[in-house]
Structure 1
């Protein structure tokens, strides 16, 4: 988040900055901290999926996930930590919960007395690894296994399911085979054979699996569905489940087995018929959530009790594993979307879906609607992931971090040059929030905005002075949901320029929504309304300019010791230190692209002539922005 109080000594900084810029004007090397104009390539990494299967494969997948402190805390809050008791012989340090005050994850070495002549000391396990590998609360995931798959591909997928089970996420799998035409003779026996292949693959990887061949769901909408309030364009699944129908699934889960189901439903004549697997998954998502709510009162209240035999039926994840991967995006030349806000982007993605993509990815839109249906019933913190069978290890990263493989709010130059982005990159989907752009202060709910800013910054707002200033300088406000996040952009005057400076005055997200995708959704909308204007990938349905217009450089400042600065460094074009402050900026992408084209192979220099004086102007302008805190 941004912090905004007055800087001191602005007029002493400007000449020094101008002098330094002029001295370096002729340099042609790229500044590692000041520009992303050339495509910065990340260092080569070893893909886990390229390694031979071994006992270390699971640990390598954990390391590849590279969870942050917040990701780890969120995971442990969901699945809990099982304390480890020290052994009586050869004692080692027990596994302890994550110390949130130590971001470096350091642990003191144990002091152990050893008789070196008789035995060796067993190494003490990492407390973080021990915590992750010993989940207390087991949660469920709905999995659509959309084949057909070869035996080798099934082995790879089964290995991913085992990884998730080790982390506390137990899968409920619905198997589909796209090559089996509905109504053909022998389709039932062929589907049952597919079920047994999946069960065999899971057991070959060391799991316990159970084929649930009895019909679980019932065909048709649930009675009284028409009386329930829902969005006008939301269509419930054409199947439903009662809690009593989940006996087979619940029994398998409590026995430590992975239930594997065919896409069968019971029709009005009590016949078991094949239906669309998406209807089965939608019915299960709703039914399992309702069953979990009924069982909620039976949960043990003691936080220290052993819940290892209990299962929370409410699905935490929806996983769609297929041969196609994620949903293709017009902004990435057909490469998959990274993160989708279903509330605000669902219809637009359908409208901009290129018909040519239907040949390679015929089920993308159907799976997009499946994710929307299931997440409408699942808890707000749940998410869905669409992933290719070639990337099973990415499921671990999704579970631990609940984030896309690459942040969708990164600059497009970094996204286009990122080695992690392939046609098999998973798409993460969230229920998300509506995004709106407000260009008049009268349209801002001041009471909600005050609560958002004060809660996010943990300071008291001088509301009268703040809104009095916005009456003169406001450009636009991007609001996420019901004021769970907001970005406020103003026009700041500069005596050395006739054009106002576009200044990010406030960027805030409620603490309860940090880490659920709202920050990325908000920044993407901010990009589309400011420095991203003019590009086709900025044509998003956020109620703003929808990509029409000329982009403007966006400027903001932050305390030098602000822990969020790492996030800003990754998303800004460059930065300049101003004493105890840091000035960040994002270049107007369309203008920068045109300038790169004009220079051709010569590339852009460290500082171009047309930008020689702007940093000193920005430094002078932002230091004059008054504080709005009491």
Structure 2
């Protein structure tokens, strides 16, 4: 070991490392130490306060600058077309009246003044959007009060809820079934009004049983899950009226059957029919009435509302979907395009008693999001977390990032059984292992748009042909992670295996903030440093968790704004001049070493870690740039 270290010291990069190791030793192992030590138990003062304050709920959301911009783009004032100034006083001809005889005051006829769009947007700066809410009870009065407070908070921020009430304790087919569900609906209306909201019960059926006429022959029936109920734009008149009046519509799960009788059906069918029907109704509105169709504001802002639902919220007692990767703790972020079937297949039968409606709600989210805009999301949340709804609205992100190291997720006090599950339509994720299978024009376009630099194509493709390990692609090259295999120097110890190097990690600007980054990093974890662990068996077209984990290494410029994100996900880092070297330890190796040492835990520096930073830095910083 001493001989190898001395040999490394003769190389320039290794010498630079040795010269500053005494000063930076603790710094670049800080992340390792935090991962390997058990987190302290939260003190009483560390526990989040009760969700009883609107401002505190917003502050706890901790939105980034990008989150704030995204929120303002959806809920901020609409752009106003400049109004040309036209004089209202007629100017007489120069030779028809003399200056001496010109009247000093000209009376104008009285006309009713319309509110200026600019003034209206200042007085009411929030552009209102809609969300669909499934309220899956039974709830106590106290629980309903907490939920109603969350709905009021969302309304203040511009998101008006269309609520469908369900009570699992009301038996189906009972003589008092209709009266009981109507009574439950009125309880929700009363709870909302006690919190200061205006609510309107819509007790008549607004959906119709059965698929929509023409669905059997429509091509979209092959690509979209077809709801068991449907609605027409004319059926939504009461919901539209309530929304325009600033009221929250509250509906029981009723539908019209083929004999025009109002019958109780599954609330999921009502929600799915409304999601599709509201999107279709909004598409038929004049462009000037839609949020994205015009730069003009034809009516006062408070009369406008976009009928297209941008959120689906499922509020119940059980919370999110339990995860096989976290011993029953909830999924944080679900990519429905690639994970839906796998989550259903790995659902533990024991969870059916604790989460009886989890799979049905997962299917509901998939159906609704297939009709809603791509930027929409669904959240499954317990009644205990009303402030999570605000955080989801402002950031459109999960409460805890799913791409954080598993050790942090296991020990983070914010990850609890009632932590919400965020669901997105998502993108397919696949792994490419042959350079010949890469769509080079699309990957080039992705890299140049993401890095905003010109790719030096010839040496870049030549390098991939020689040392490509794999490429993870999200969607149609909306994101990609390029990983290569770098050989260690000839004089390095035979104990060092080839370096798994993250050469490029890129996401299109249009997909930044929609979950693609997390989807991509989770797949990268599963194909490299997470291999060999049961929670790495995700269906991304790769090794599905089988194999031995490998250390993942990459570099980033010291002034890269993404470094904060890298710090949270790496095991450790080393600063070297204008660059930072990051790495993620193979998790299986760490667990094996921990098992050998038992309760003693891992040491500050393991034997197999000595000298590896010198080798990594020597190899990684010799890789030439891919940019012109």
- Aligned-residue CA RMSD (Å): 2.4
* Alpha-carbon shift at residue 235 of structure 1 (Å): 3.1
Residue of structure 1 equivalent to 2:63: 67
Residue of structure 2 equivalent to 1:165: 155
Aligned partner of 1:77 among 65, 73, 88:
73
Call closer, same or farther: CA 1:555–1:40 in 2, change over 3 Å.
farther
Q: More displaced, 11-20 or 249-258?
A: 11-20
Residue of structure 2 equivalent to 1:339: 333
Call closer, same or farther: CA 1:514–1:539 in 2, change over 3 Å.
same
Is the aligned partner of 1:139 residue 2:129?
A: yes
Q: How many residues align?
A: 570
Residue of structure 1 equivalent to 2:13: 13
- Is the contact made by 1:140 and 1:316 (CA closer than 8 Å) also made in structure 2? yes
* Alpha-carbon shift at residue 381 of structure 1 (Å): 0.3
Residue of structure 1 equivalent to 2:347: 353
Residue of structure 1 equivalent to 2:85: none
The runs of at least 4 aligned residues of structure 1 exceeding 4 Å deviation read 18-25, 40-50, 131-135, 230-234, 303-306
Call closer, same or farther: CA 1:24–1:556 in 2, change over 3 Å.
closer
Q: Return the alpha-carbon distance in structure 1 between the equivalents of residues 287 and 152 of structure 2.
A: 30
Q: Return the alpha-carbon distance in structure 2 between the equivalents of residues 567 and 619 of structure 1.
A: 21
* Alpha-carbon shift at residue 151 of structure 1 (Å): 0.6
Q: Return the alpha-carbon distance in structure 1 between the equivalents of residues 527 and 145 of structure 2.
A: 46
Residue of structure 2 equivalent to 1:455: 449
- Is the contact made by 2:60 and 2:391 (CA closer than 8 Å) also made in structure 1? yes
Call closer, same or farther: CA 1:47–1:295 in 2, change over 3 Å.
farther
* Alpha-carbon shift at residue 290 of structure 1 (Å): 0.5
Residue of structure 2 equivalent to 1:554: 552
Provide the secondary structure at the position in 1 that maps to 2:285.
helix
Indicate the structure (1 or 2) with the bigger Cα radius of gyration: 2
Q: Return the alpha-carbon distance in structure 2 between the equivalents of residues 414 and 562 of structure 1.
A: 24
Give TM-score scaled by structure 2 length. 0.87
Is the aligned partner of 1:215 residue 2:205?
A: yes
Provide the secondary structure at the position in 2 that maps to 1:355.
coil
Provide the secondary structure at the position in 2 that maps to 1:182.
coil
Aligned partner of 1:512 among 501, 510, 525:
510
Q: Return the alpha-carbon distance in structure 2 between the equivalents of residues 588 and 133 of structure 1.
A: 56
Q: Return the alpha-carbon distance in structure 2 between the equivalents of residues 302 and 19 of structure 1.
A: 60
Call closer, same or farther: CA 1:629–1:371 in 2, change over 3 Å.
same
Residue of structure 1 equivalent to 2:598: 600
1:3-54 deviation line (CA, Å, top 9, x unaligned): xxxxxx99423134357669999x9x9942444222445976968974374x
- Is the contact made by 1:18 and 1:612 (CA closer than 8 Å) also made in structure 2? no
Residue of structure 2 equivalent to 1:406: 400
Residue of structure 2 equivalent to 1:242: 232
Q: Return the alpha-carbon distance in structure 2 between the equivalents of residues 609 and 413 of structure 1.
A: 22
Is the aligned partner of 1:563 residue 2:561?
A: yes
Call closer, same or farther: CA 1:232–1:530 in 2, change over 3 Å.
farther
Structure 1: tracts of 5 or more residues without a match = 1-8, 84-130
* Alpha-carbon shift at residue 605 of structure 1 (Å): 2.7
- Is the contact made by 2:31 and 2:570 (CA closer than 8 Å) also made in structure 1? no
Alignment of 1:70-109 (within 5 A): 70-81=66-77
Q: Return the alpha-carbon distance in structure 1 between the equivalents of residues 517 and 221 of structure 2.
A: 25
Is the aligned partner of 1:58 residue 2:54?
A: yes
Q: Return the alpha-carbon distance in structure 2 between the equivalents of residues 45 and 302 of structure 1.
A: 51
Give TM-score scaled by structure 1 length. 0.87
Is the aligned partner of 1:588 residue 2:586?
A: yes
Q: Return the alpha-carbon distance in structure 1 between the equivalents of residues 155 and 179 of structure 2.
A: 29
Call closer, same or farther: CA 1:48–1:379 in 2, change over 3 Å.
farther
Call closer, same or farther: CA 1:30–1:491 in 2, change over 3 Å.
closer
Call closer, same or farther: CA 1:48–1:180 in 2, change over 3 Å.
farther
Residue of structure 1 equivalent to 2:356: 362
Aligned partner of 2:462 among 468, 471, 478:
468
